[in-house]
Structure 1
């Protein structure tokens, strides 16, 4: 039986049978009194609870200890040989393993330090939350896949996975290298992050095993890992690199949470990232060596993200890309379709072959950065039912803009929102906004021109062509939309008409509204007869006219039916009165 220093009596002790030679079996009950600080040594079999007013350390071994299915609550425990089994030990400070095996469950907030010269084995699904450290030449044998499920392991280099093929760690830190293989050289699937904490591992993992990031925290890999079983991010964040020149994994990555690149060098990732999670570059340069298939968001938070130059569609068409201010997204030489584009950074393309960026958004998005910059050899297509707003003033991409579906809004304050190339709006597409368009712009039949931002002025500095069947969507009122063509040629349809749809921007009334101001532009086949009315505001009649360098619409109020009826009644009354007076005048003449 463990020997304690008793500082005050009385104390009630109850023992069952099997007392012999300081060993016990059965139950030990601690009654009233105070158990002081000191050390208790347990050997043989028994169960109980060490409690006291001071720190209590229990040493188990070198013989076996059976806890009898009970729970031992203490401050610290030392395992010094033998097997401790059949129960739970709850320590609040620390566990120390020098030798032996523990098949009992270790719980509590204690940490574990392994100093074994040969080996120390944990063979239960432990739940203790303190860190696990292996010191000196110690060796920790993990005999249960959940032995360290809530503990952060600080030295994986001195871990033996025994016969396991899978293991879960609360976290992983330290600098020692580890091998993801068991004692039979079989691959070990290692899951890390169950304690939801942020940890950094600067060692390297090798072997045939795999790594899975679990839990809500961040695992940072600061070294170049060579394990071949693949990498999965199931929850939380896996970060490759710790702001240095290393930090990588071999092969492909399945990412269903968050993957971050954070290296300070020019790094090429040659694997394929799949899954639904987000991918972020927070380092210097990340080059993608293959086409990626993940569908989560792509965030260029810092530095450069460079798409592969050997294939088209370097990213999945389902990913939305955000380029932060000061960051760069390289689409050089190939065609890439994205589900969205936002941010304030730079999208560029250089090389002999022009790039082609298609933004197929179904949402409402704004890109306020630069399309082009120093390397502007690409074209832009807006597709998808959503709205993309371009508000940057430095867009200078050269290969043109096509709006095949949805809406593109030019909301820049200077320059050209659509670069220097020509702009084409296909049937079903809409070009609008209150900014400036630099290239010659053509609206095909079925295309919509919607100037302003409820309302406002859209300016074309390079000319405007309106094909027959194109559609104007105007808001008129106290403040009204306006199309200004300040350069190039303004061209109307050679045959057919352009349809004008009207809505009230507030305060609409009878009067004359300027639709087009083409001061400074040449005119070809553009006059009032080129326009017809579609949706209008009721209660008015409308007419088009050209006045100087402006196309104007005049709205005239139509009298209400009651007013018309009243006027007709008055006319009829006056006519009848006049007739009666004439009849009376004739009678008077006849009598005379």
Structure 2
């Protein structure tokens, strides 16, 4: 048994400061000796010649109350413990790397006071088992100090110093860990023993660095900020299953390249800051939580199988994912980068959320999960969204706004839905089917407003229910085999043109569809189905267009076509819809070659509307009310109608004369009856086409009537002067053709006293020449 005698170097005080090499320390018990490894003989701890001691007299090897120093003055830097041993504490200094390893078996080194200190620029390996004989302070001021095996004992370990302490063993020490400075690198699940980890940093927040796939179960108490990072270059998820507690003001900062998952139900109220890498809340089960606000500069993933509500604030430019099979509800007002539903159900409930990521990627994505925005939430994103799974925007006051939206839900059960008075405003493109078939529904009073609206592939759009509305502030395109249905009191309004390139066109069944222009795509001949009052309205912004497709009734019965605006709308096909056609403004041209361009319903022309064209209206009756005009042809042309009534006196028949052939002036053929005035006689307005002049003895058979004619034009009785052009009079007769047709003929303008004789003579002239029957037309 050796007896230690204090040397003069440690007197007079038992706790005086001693410097050995580059190591500074405070001596522990007054009887402690300091042993410095010189390694002069070999690598074995048990060789007393390997040690230099301040013991007086100097004895063999360090024992339980001795301080052991490795300071870089040795020749052998690998040290074999070769036996379980106890010392007071352990110190390293200098710039030499030490490897405290085992020879044949792994032995245990007990630190009686638990302390370990490193300084200098070297890195060291400690491969012994370590037993803490007391609460230890490990001050690591070298770049890295690695403990490869286990730490045991009933005491605590406090990490101080700016360096990195790497722990790789399955430790069992139970007194807890206090992290004050520098970095703890954890390479095993049990590296921190079984006790509480307390973070009590100083000026700079300490770091906990977890290696690939490590699962830490210790509870953590935050008394200051803590950095957590996953080892760089790894790809497995690292877990923390314990509970992290702490007061407001103590933040957790994650900074790593890989994924870190919280599977404990944490209660700390400070912020969580994600600087890089991925943080998971949960790992597919029913645990894992963060209670405070989250500032995300990288990736945040919610991955729970149950229903959870996060009421904190999300901020930063990073991505937020819903991965779990359960339902995640967000209720906090937040501004962050991107939001992606990749599993389960994501709900935004009453929150104001704005997505602002500076990226070309879609900001809002529903990929493998459904999403609902509800209860007055105000959701805004810049850039594009991609909807591959169900997205429902619902409830009065709920608003979704964005720049572009692409819907490819692949299933009619997985739709983009706007309902129950909610509103969606998309400033730019709204495209259905760009990445596979997509399906949308605007229903129950929902409102969707967008710029350009495109439906393609086998995609579909359904606008249904009273007060449901689709407003397109640019153009509507229907391509391929897509479909659009407007039903049951819903409405669609297109400020530009509607281009129909799908064979089945679109359906208006009890709804209303209003577009400035209606055209077909290339050589398509689509069919539009309509039913209901005001079903299809064309020209409300004064545009002109030609529709070369067909119009028929929808399942709900007769549908109406309405022409408004100052532009011209042209129909070119034989249509079969049975509702009325109403021309309130501008011009409707019927340029079909057979049957009826306006179906079988009545054609109403009124206000400032004009009906013209070179086609056929062979069903229904054309009725002109106040302000209505009938102008056969398109310039000179031939219009055929079934029946016609000029109901009021301020209606007009416009006739243009451009030559003597019946193809060079306007002709109106009436297959049935003609009523020239129920409440006042209509006006007849005759003009000459530029370049044409009248001559004497010319005749123009302008109206052919197969049935009965009632009435005359206003102020124009039989043989009356209609107008004069260069002193040549243009007169009217109602007895041309088969005796019931209307013709104009020319003659010199006589003196007023000769008008009666001229009328009789002119009538004889017309009757002799006008024996052409309607069948010639």
The answer to whether TM tops 0.5 is yes
Q: Distance in 1 between matches of 2:90 and 2:491?
A: 88
Alignment partner for residue 383 of structure 1, among 406, 409, 426?
426
Q: Distance in 1 between matches of 2:180 and 2:439?
A: 63
Alignment of 1:220-231 (within 5 A): 220-231=261-272
Alignment of 1:396-411 (within 5 A): 397-403=443-449, 405-411=450-456
> How far is 1:336 from its partner?
4.1
Cα distance, 1:256–1:80 mapped onto 2, change above 3 Å = same
Aligned 8 A contact 1:125 1:147 in 2: no
Map of 1:71 onto structure 2: 97
> How far is 1:386 from its partner?
2.8
Aligned 8 A contact 1:57 1:74 in 2: no
Aligned 8 A contact 1:90 1:106 in 2: no
Map of 1:346 onto structure 2: 390
Cα distance, 1:232–1:57 mapped onto 2, change above 3 Å = farther
Cα distance, 1:410–1:400 mapped onto 2, change above 3 Å = farther
Alignment partner for residue 200 of structure 1, among 214, 220, 239?
239
Q: Deviations over 1:376-425 (max 9, x none)?
A: 5244534222333264457363224443x422223474874444465443
Q: Distance in 2 between matches of 1:95 and 1:136?
A: 12
Alignment partner for residue 476 of structure 1, among 522, 529, 534?
522
Map of 2:111 onto structure 1: 80
> How far is 1:215 from its partner?
0.4
Q: Distance in 2 between matches of 1:57 and 1:90?
A: 20
Alignment partner for residue 365 of structure 2, among 298, 314, 322?
322
> How far is 1:344 from its partner?
3.4
Aligned 8 A contact 2:545 2:568 in 1: no
Aligned 8 A contact 2:393 2:400 in 1: no
Aligned 8 A contact 1:393 1:413 in 2: no
Matched, 1:295 2:326: no
Alignment partner for residue 98 of structure 1, among 132, 138, 148?
132
Cα distance, 1:377–1:431 mapped onto 2, change above 3 Å = farther
Q: Distance in 2 between matches of 1:428 and 1:400?
A: 20
> How far is 1:550 from its partner?
6.0
SS of alignment partner, residue 264 of structure 2: coil
Q: Distance in 2 between matches of 1:473 and 1:359?
A: 29
Alignment partner for residue 261 of structure 1, among 289, 293, 302?
302
Map of 2:549 onto structure 1: 515
Q: Deviations over 1:230-262 (max 9, x none)?
A: 221222222223334332222322122222222
Aligned 8 A contact 1:23 1:44 in 2: yes
Q: Deviations over 1:347-375 (max 9, x none)?
A: 3466xx54644342346554556577999
Q: Distance in 1 between matches of 2:219 and 2:541?
A: 76
Cα distance, 1:364–1:170 mapped onto 2, change above 3 Å = same
Q: Distance in 2 between matches of 1:498 and 1:294?
A: 42
Alignment of 1:477-492 (within 5 A): 477=523, 480=524, 482=526, 484-488=528-532, 491-492=536-537
Matched, 1:144 2:178: no
Map of 2:219 onto structure 1: 177
> How far is 1:485 from its partner?
2.9
Cα distance, 1:260–1:380 mapped onto 2, change above 3 Å = same
Larger relative contact order (C-alpha < 8 A, sep ≥ 6)? 1
Cα distance, 1:450–1:75 mapped onto 2, change above 3 Å = farther
Q: Deviations over 1:181-217 (max 9, x none)?
A: 2xxxxxx101112424522222111222221121022
Aligned 8 A contact 1:372 1:397 in 2: no
Cα distance, 1:525–1:250 mapped onto 2, change above 3 Å = closer
> How far is 1:160 from its partner?
4.8
Map of 1:358 onto structure 2: 400
Matched, 1:530 2:568: yes
Aligned 8 A contact 1:425 1:431 in 2: no
Q: Distance in 2 between matches of 1:139 and 1:498?
A: 79
Structure 1, unmatched stretches of 5+, are: 1-16, 182-187, 502-512, 534-542, 555-592
> How far is 1:169 from its partner?
0.6
SS of alignment partner, residue 242 of structure 1: coil
Q: Distance in 1 between matches of 2:243 and 2:424?
A: 44
> How far is 1:494 from its partner?
7.8
Q: Distance in 2 between matches of 1:387 and 1:374?
A: 14
Matched, 1:499 2:541: no
Map of 2:172 onto structure 1: 135
SS of alignment partner, residue 250 of structure 1: coil
Q: Distance in 2 between matches of 1:247 and 1:496?
A: 57
Aligned 8 A contact 1:515 1:553 in 2: no
Q: Distance in 1 between matches of 2:498 and 2:539?
A: 18
SS of alignment partner, residue 295 of structure 1: strand
Map of 2:671 onto structure 1: none
Q: Distance in 2 between matches of 1:216 and 1:230?
A: 20
In terms of mean alpha carbon deviation, does 135-144 or 262-271 score higher?
135-144
Map of 1:279 onto structure 2: 320
Cα distance, 1:65–1:498 mapped onto 2, change above 3 Å = closer
> How far is 1:149 from its partner?
8.1
Q: Distance in 1 between matches of 2:69 and 2:166?
A: 28
Q: Distance in 2 between matches of 1:57 and 1:294?
A: 61
Aligned 8 A contact 1:482 1:516 in 2: yes
Cα distance, 1:398–1:106 mapped onto 2, change above 3 Å = same
SS of alignment partner, residue 235 of structure 1: strand
Alignment of 1:429-448 (within 5 A): 430=476, 432-433=478-479, 434-439=482-487, 441-443=491-493, 446-448=495-497
Cα distance, 1:156–1:375 mapped onto 2, change above 3 Å = farther
> How far is 1:315 from its partner?
2.3
Structure 2, unmatched stretches of 5+, are: 1-20, 22-32, 51-60, 63-67, 103-107, 358-362, 572-588, 599-612, 616-777
> How far is 1:288 from its partner?
2.5
User: Which has the greater radius of gyration?
Assistant: 2
> How far is 1:143 from its partner?
4.7
> How far is 1:180 from its partner?
1.1
Q: Distance in 2 between matches of 1:28 and 1:472?
A: 96
Cα distance, 1:62–1:550 mapped onto 2, change above 3 Å = farther
